[in-house]
Every structure is written in C-alpha cells, then in structure tokens.
Structure 1
C-alpha cells in the first residue's frame, strides 16, 4: 500500500505565497487550487472583487469576457469603460480579447481614451501599441493628450519605448507642453529627460521658459526652481505674457498655490527676482485659497500686501475650505454666481449658510435648481424653507430625473407634500433601469405602465429587465424600439426584441 503523501499545502505557506501575488491573481488563480484555499481567502475585503484597472490573469479575463454573450448585458458606454479599464491594467492580451468581444468600432475618440489610460498608468508597451498608429496619422495630433498624461505622471519610459519601436516619428515626441506637465507634477527625472531632448529640436522663447518656471514653482521644490532659473539665463520676469500679466506674476501665484511644503520660500525667492515696487495682484491669494492649508497661506500673503478678491472666495468654495471662506467673507469679499451654483450642486450647505450669514445674496431659484441637478436634498430643502424657492418649480425639476435622488428620498419628499409628475418619474426610472422606483411611480404615483415612451426609454439604455416588466403589464412597443436599442449598443436588448416579435423598422 502506497504511503500517504504529507500535506505541504499549509495555510501559513499559502499566505506567504499570496503575499507575493497581486490580489487579482489570488482571486482568479490561487483560491481555485482547492476548497481549503478558497475558504482561506473567503470574506476578506482585499480579495472580494477583481479590479479591472489592475492586471487580471489572461486566462481568467478570457473566461469571463470572451465567452459567447458575455457582453450582451453591457451598454455601449459600459463596453467603452471596460476597454479603458483594461488599457489601464496594461495587459495587452486582455485588451485584444476585450476589443474582439465588445464589437465596438475604435474611432479617434476611443483610441485617444485608450492611449491616455495606458499612458497615465505608465504601461509603455501598451502605450506604444496604441500610439504608433496615431503617430502615423499625425495630422490630427490626438496623441498629444496621451503624452501629456504620461509626462504629468512622470512616466518617461513611454518615450523610451516609442523611440525604440517607432524611431521615424521621433520629431513628434517632443514638446515644451510635456516638460510643463512633468514639472507641474513634480517629476524631476522625467522633466530633465524631456527637457534635454526638447531643447535639441525646439527653439525656446522667453515665453516658453516662463512657462517652465511657472510649472516648476507649482510642482517642484525651491532648489529645482533656482536651478531652472539659472538655465533660463536672462529671461525677463517683467515680460508681459497674457492679459497684462507678467512672467513674474504668474511665477508668484504658482508658488503661492504650490503643492510643496516650501511654498513660502518660493514666494520670497520670486519676490527677490522682481524689481522693487513690483505690483502684487490678487492671483496669488486665489491660488493659495485652493490649497488645504489656505487659511494659513492667505493670512501670510495678506500680511505681505497681496490683495484678495472674489476669485479667492470662489477658490475656497471649490476646494471646500470653510475656514478660508470665513476669513475672506469677513473681509467683505463675496463669491461669484458660478461658485454659489457649484456649492449648491455639490451639497456644500455649510458654505452657503456662511455666505448668507455674512450678508451675501443668494438667488433661491439658482440654489434650488443646482441642488436638484446635484441630487442634494438638504440644500434643496434649505432653499425652499429658508430662501423661499418655489416648491412647484423645484418639484418639476426633481421628479423629471430620478437619478438625482434615492427612492427613499423621493418617498420622503412626496410624503411631505412635494408635488411630482408621475410620468416623468417613471421615465427617469425606466432610463436608469431602477425597477424599485419604476414600481413606486406606477403603484403610488399612478404612472401608466402602458406608456410606450417608457419602452423607448428603456431600449435606449439597454434595460431588458424594464422592457420585460412593462410588456408583462401590457405596454405596447415604442415606435423607435430598434433604433433605440441599436443606440444603446446592448446586444441583449436587440436579441430580446427579436425574440419577442417586436416589429422591425421599415427601412
């Protein structure tokens, strides 16, 4: 009788193996070794779901997405998103599988989205595969945003790979814009690599050197800024570049809003490079107001004689910096119409209350409308109760697109007496595939399930479940069902329409 082999697949060893693997590898491969291993990793958040933006084992990716019908439930936009996530992962074989499976024509826009995804993630091989065809068709210059993404993330290896695999297009690979992107991102090695090669083929004007200085002031430390200034030679910081602003004023505002800890030292250095009596403008405070420590920066700049205006208040609102906003409001500054609208849309009720407390004027209808657009119910209720927004007008906006609020919120508002249009609520739910809200709109609000426009709305978004539910309740075919389903790019929707005998279009 043969001896029983010892069990060397011990939990401790398995954990050790897993520590050297990407979570996707554990999910898709390791946990399938046996039942004990599957149980060992069950219920652990880091191994709960596959992240498509990270490398997925090709065998698992193909099993999931290359199978017949794997894409049938995805809309056109969802298929494009799958492609972009796969490009971000950097696994070329997976992208090839996805491109074959989705059945989507890769136009210029999608090609650009894919190459930007690969470049931003720093996958040089994937980037080359996607960019070289674009470089061949150079006149549209759609490769520029992709290379800017690579530079901003510091991935200079993308350029090395492109030079290796596509040397005849080398002249198109260098631009001052890429140097600016690398400096703004604080990536010194990438910036130096790109600058050396750009200098070899581009004539550098004082304006371009000024852009380099401004980018370095924002993304790099003072030593880098000083070194770059020495390389610039005699670039006049008093040179006017745009809207009566000088290189020096742009440099100051960039330093004031810098992401680095030595921002004060950079401001002081920039001041030392300018002639006595230079004009301090409000852009420095506006840049500082967007930073997390804006209150400290603003106090320091204001004490040094830098003026602040409404742009600083706008920046504080966009950055959701309440302390900075309070400081500016106390000085009599007021945010713009657009900043108020943004605050309402993003649910920044505390900031709106601060503006009102300091005497700022708020347009009730604007606040309510933007709150509806952002689905911000607390702001919406405040606009009605405190600012006097008209309930009827607000309700028309709110119930025309149920994506703005959860079903629970819609029910609560309805119970409080907010008027709503049942048909608009049903249309919004059909478009989203929100069955719970659709049932509520029919059962509680009285929307008709025999409204053919609901079928068209569902078909346009590839919502098969909604179409099935509506047909079970006697809903007629919409007049543009096939065209709507084709627009969605959802194969499952088209197959279902054919199976159910939906009338084909005449032409």
Structure 2
C-alpha cells in the first residue's frame, strides 16, 4: 500500500474490500483525517471494530440524544455519547463528532457526567472550533459530583448556572460545594426547599443541617421524604433537634418504601397512621410491611385492595383476602 494520507474514498474502498483486518482500523483512523468517518457507513464489522460498544443498538425508538445520523450508506446508529466519553480517546471523540455526534449542549452535559469530565470538557470547549455549546447542566453535574475544581473552571469560562445547581449539590451530599455556591451568589431562593428535600431523601444529614441553618424550614413534607428514603437517622434528627412535625404521610412513605425500621420507630414515637398507610404498602407490593401493619393494628379499608389490584400485585390481593383485610 502506498504511503500517505488515507482519504475518505480510499478508506471506504479498503473497508469494502476486506483487505485490512478489522482490528487494525482503530489504529488507522486515529491518524486519518476526520472525513474518514464515512467508513462507518460502509461495513458493520468495521464499525463494530472501530467503535466497539460505542454505538447504540439499532432500533426504531428515538435515541435519548434526539436523532439518528445520516451516513453515506443510509442511517447508522448514533454514537453512544457516554460510552464514547468514557473511552478517554480524543481521536474517537473527534471521529464521533465527524460521524454526526450532536455538537450542542447535550454533548457537554454528557461530558460533565462522564468519568473524565475535566478532560472531555476542556477538549470540547478549548480545543475544538467552534467550541461546543454548554448550559447550566454542566454546573449541575459538577456540583452533584462534588467536583469543585471543574465547577470553578466552568464558571470562570462563562458557563451558566441556575437553581438546579444547588439542588444537585444537595442531592449528591456535597456540603463544601453548597457552601461555595452560596458564597458566590448562585440562584438560591428557588433552590432551598427542593435541596433540603433531596438531602433528606438521600440521607445527607450534614447538608440538611446546614441548609436548616440557612433558612430551610423542615416540615411534614421533609419528614415524609426522609421516611420514604429509609433514612432513620435523618427522621430522628428531624423529629428531635429540628422539631419537625409529622402525620400519616410519614408512615405511608415508609410503608411504600418497605422501610420497616423507620416505620416501627415513628410508630413507637407517636406518629399517626390510617388506611392510606396500608394502601401505600399494598400499592408497592410490600407484603412483609402489610403483615406488620395488620399485626400492629393499622387500619385497612377498600383502598388496600384497590391499590394492589391497580398495581397487579396478585400475591398481595390473595393475602388481603385470606387475612380478611
């Protein structure tokens, strides 16, 4: 084979001929011009060799990234962006871009969630022209991952943020990031309540305590959210030092989640329950919880049977009938 650059037509010809072993294509395309990406539309074997598991299975439903890419020989599956980013191969990233990978905020949002977010984002924003667009999802992903360095870098380069940034940090239990966001004027008013509830559900007590010191008022909804997440330590703090109220929704949330330790603790400490509690357990198919509720005297009414039927939990329906509930 003559030395020199392998152009798009040449690459297609070699691929079609089968003269080059498939396992050598990644090495060839790593140094070939971007136009060589047309080879992806020539041979399924070559495409599999080059991108491996980086393409999405062929299907009629729309890919989450929003579209399929038109290749030189019809449609081929769009490159799987998360898998492509996880490869840490900048040549493959460039190849994916030339093959039709969406070059918009969807790409940078996926990059921010990838294991190598800093490298991928710097490539997309600083080494590519034009730079790939981005939006507040980048800051939210960095905040949830606790990557303060990436968050600072993104902000210093003009990446926007919004109220979801603080919520994401709370969801990830990232107290240091939350404190930095607060000090830097990140949108806050609309963030406090959802951030507190995310922290409660995930069991991030330190985050919840700090948010409480910053004006987050814990209420019955917070209590039910923590119970639904099975977060006994958070429930105990909410009921004790935070002085948070509760109602039957707390028992119902714990029952629906199958969290017996939480359910037993709140009942022992006076939390009310009613027919909605047994209905919640029935809807979730939590037979063990239902047995406890029955033995502990929790009210049962028509809602339990209706919930089990609606959710097609035949084993629960059978037990309810046998138990006379």
The TM tier, using the shorter chain, reads 0.5 to 0.7
Task: Determine whether 1:344 maps to 2:151.
Answer: no
Give the SS at the match of 1:480.
helix
Tell me by how many angstroms 1:328 deviates. Answer: 1.5
Tell me by how many angstroms 1:490 deviates. Answer: 4.1
The alignment of Structure 1 onto Structure 2 pairs a total of residues equal to 262
- Cα RMSD (Å) of the superposition? 4.5
Task: Determine whether 1:383 maps to 2:246.
Answer: no
Using the alignment, how far apart are the partners of 1:491 and 1:206 within structure 2?
A: 45
Using the alignment, how far apart are the partners of 1:295 and 1:485 within structure 2?
A: 48
Indicate the residue corresponding to 1:366 in structure 2.
194
After superposition, what is the alpha-carbon deviation per residue over 1:65-95, rounded to whole angstroms, capped at 9, x for unaligned? Answer: xxxxxxxxxxxxxxxxxxxxxxxxxxxxxxx
**Alpha-carbon spacing, 1:260–1:436, altered in 2? closer, same or farther (3 Å):** closer
**Alpha-carbon spacing, 1:264–1:437, altered in 2? closer, same or farther (3 Å):** same
Determine which of 453, 474, 478 is the counterpart of 2:301.
Answer: 478
Tell me by how many angstroms 1:288 deviates. Answer: 4.8
Larger Rg: 1
After TM superposition, the structure 1 stretch with the greater mean CA deviation from structure 2, 434-443 or 281-290, is 281-290
Indicate the residue corresponding to 2:222 in structure 1.
397
**Alpha-carbon spacing, 1:491–1:378, altered in 2? closer, same or farther (3 Å):** same
Structure 2, unaligned runs of 5 or more: 1-40, 59-67
**Alpha-carbon spacing, 1:414–1:310, altered in 2? closer, same or farther (3 Å):** same
TM-score, length-scaled by structure 1? 0.41
Matches within 5 A, 1:83-122: none
TM-score, length-scaled by structure 2? 0.60
Using the alignment, how far apart are the partners of 2:248 and 2:159 within structure 1?
A: 44
Tell me by how many angstroms 1:478 deviates. Answer: 0.8
After superposition, what is the alpha-carbon deviation per residue over 1:212-257, rounded to whole angstroms, capped at 9, x for unaligned? Answer: 69739x699xxxxxxxxxxxxxxxxxxxxxxxxxxxxxxxxxxxx7
- Contact kept, 8 Å, 1:292 with 1:321, in 2: the verdict is no
Using the alignment, how far apart are the partners of 2:278 and 2:225 within structure 1?
A: 17
**Alpha-carbon spacing, 1:214–1:184, altered in 2? closer, same or farther (3 Å):** farther
Matches within 5 A, 1:5-404: 186-187=51-52, 207-209=70-72, 215=79, 258-263=85-90, 267=94, 288-299=111-122, 301-302=125-126, 307=131, 309-311=134-136, 312-317=138-143, 321-362=147-188, 363-386=191-214, 388-392=215-219, 395-399=220-224, 402-404=227-229
Tell me by how many angstroms 1:360 deviates. Answer: 2.2
Using the alignment, how far apart are the partners of 2:82 and 2:264 within structure 1?
A: 52
Structure 1, unaligned runs of 5 or more: 1-175, 195-204, 221-256, 272-279, 503-507
**Alpha-carbon spacing, 1:313–1:431, altered in 2? closer, same or farther (3 Å):** closer
